Amino acid sequence: MAGNYIENFFRKLGKPLVRFIAGLGELSIFIAKSVYHSVTPPFYIKLLGKQMIDIGFYSLPVVALTTIFAGMVIALQTYSGFSSYGAESAVASVVLISVTRELAPVFSGLMVAGRIGAAMAAEIGTMRVTEQIDALVTLSTNPFKYLVAPRVLASIFVLPLLVLIGDVIGIFGGFIVAVYKLGFNPANYINSTINGLESLDIITGVVKACVFGFIIAIMGCYNGYKSRGGAQGVGEATTNAVVSASILILIFNYVITELLFSK
């Protein structure tokens, strides 16, 4: 009896483990193919331009709205905490560092993952279940070249631009609260922001944005490409794309921060 219990235990433990390892291997192969076809010709320039507009331009409103309120909240919270110690002058520097290093790249990544990652998974998943991807192969068109590579390249190119715009808007949100609600002198606040700005702050946000863009595109394309089972499968692929991309963004946000700022 004890042997049967042990056997059943390892069987129940082994199946999810084997399934996880197999899925990790499939994802690794998919990433390798995506990277290879993204850097080798031919390139579909029109598709790349379309994806850059879809990912960048149409995501700008939600990124701007998110970052401006993030900057405003950081200014309020910093002032309420630092005023107890007479360190109100540090508000501008804290807003600057918080927005450029963390809030703008992370919030932009999460917003784009929710909007674009889901759209990628739904579009490619629909093509998969309706056999349009098989039709591309029949027409001698590589699905990775036509579907995956433009999305990966567009995400890597566009997300840093969104983050840089989010930096400006988020800092401006902190400026609005600091000047018009907390009574800061506008010139002093701007000078403190400029004096506190370092190239590492901007580089950190751009590096994170490139990594997050790659994660969003890969997760969206992978889950859509591997979807099965009709409309229900497409829905599951969409959910998995957003959840997995969001979790990986938060994980790699820590990893990159640890690599850049650990001593």
Quick one: tokens of 96? 């600057």
Sequence-ordered alpha helix ranges (H) in the chain: 2-39, 45-52, 60-82, 91-97, 104-112, 118-129, 132-138, 143, 149-180, 186-196, 199-225, 230-261
Please give the pLDDT value at position 9.
Answer: 63
Please give the pLDDT value at position 98.
Answer: 92
- Reading the chain (263 residues) residue by residue, the pLDDT tens digits are 555 666 666 666 667 777 778 878 888 999 999 999 989 888 889 999 999 999 989 999 999 999 999 999 999 988 888 777 777 778 888 899 999 999 999 999 999 999 999 999 999 999 988 888 888 888 888 889 999 999 999 999 999 999 999 999 999 999 999 999 888 888 988 998 888 888 888 999 999 999 999 999 999 999 999 888 777 888 899 999 999 999 999 999 999 999 988 76
Please give the pLDDT value at position 48.
Answer: 93
Report residue 262: phi and psi, to 5°.
Answer: -75, 145
Q: Exposed, middle or buried, 197 (CB in 10 Å: 0-12/13-18/19+)?
A: middle
All structural domains of the chain with their residue ranges: 1-40, 44-261
Is the Cα dihedral 56, 58, 60, 62 positive or negative? negative
How many alpha carbons lie under 13 Å from residue 114 in its C-beta half-sphere?
A: 9
* 8 Å CB contact between 212 and 252: yes
pLDDT digits (tens, 9 = 90+) for 203-222: 999 999 999 999 999 999 99
* 8 Å CB contact between 245 and 121: no
Please give the pLDDT value at position 12.
Answer: 67
Please give the pLDDT value at position 113.
Answer: 93
DSSP 19-54: HHHHHHHHHHHHHHHHHHHHHSS---HHHHHHHHII
Q: Exposed, middle or buried, 32 (CB in 10 Å: 0-12/13-18/19+)?
A: exposed
**Which strand (E) or helix (H) includes residue 98?**
none
Please give the pLDDT value at position 227.
Answer: 86
Please give the pLDDT value at position 185.
Answer: 86
**Directed axis angle between helix 149-180 and helix 199-225, to 10°?**
140
Quick one: tokens of 149? 């590579």
